[in-house]
Amino acid sequence: GTYILTTALLPLLEKEADARVITVSSGGMLVQKLNISDLQSENGTFDGTMVYAQNKRQQVILTQQWAKTHRNIHFSVMHPGWADTPAVRSSMPDFYQKMKNSLRTEAQGADTVVWLAVSAEATKLPSGLFFQDRQPVPTHLPLASTYSPPEDEEKLKEVLEELSQKFKSTSPG
């Protein structure tokens, strides 16, 4: 997914003058601490919402790591806010019913990702930040216990690299 595509593009992006990588995450990641012990969700009862939130936490951590190691590329990750999309309606019907009058339009949800992609202002801010509404925002809620030890964050890339090698070795062609 995100890891395989981004790492494949890094050599090309390194050569570009205004290279940017923008990852669309979710505020759902704010309730998840990184769990590198079960990236394939093979243990325990499967909960799609929590797996999604865990993946979004991983995207934020990867963005921060790539920003440190690839200084010629501007990395950003963002939360579009809760928008009225077919995905929200189908995957979270109870949430949708309660919140449908407060949800953003698709255009409002897309505003920050477009701004990050084309705005000169965006690249004046440090690489690796998490955005909502064109503003950097914290990646952890106060008292949420979602911080991970730095060694777990480093291990994430190692585990993803191992998984990506397995994927590449089983891919046709």
* SS3 at position 148: coil
Q: Where are the extended beta strands (E) located within 59-98?
A: 74-78
Buried b (16+ CB within 10 A) or exposed e, 17-50: eebbbbbbbbbbbbebebbbeebeeeeeeeeeeb
Residue type, 154: E
Rg (CA), the chain: 17
How far is Cα 29 from Cα 51, in angstroms, rounded to an integer?
Answer: 10
DSSP state for residue 40 in the 8-state scheme = T
Say which of 3, 52, 96, 147 is annotated catalytic.
52
96 is a catalytic site residue? no
Residues in the chain: 173
Is the separation of the CB atoms in 53 and 88 below 8 Å? no
Show which residues are catalytic.
Answer: 52
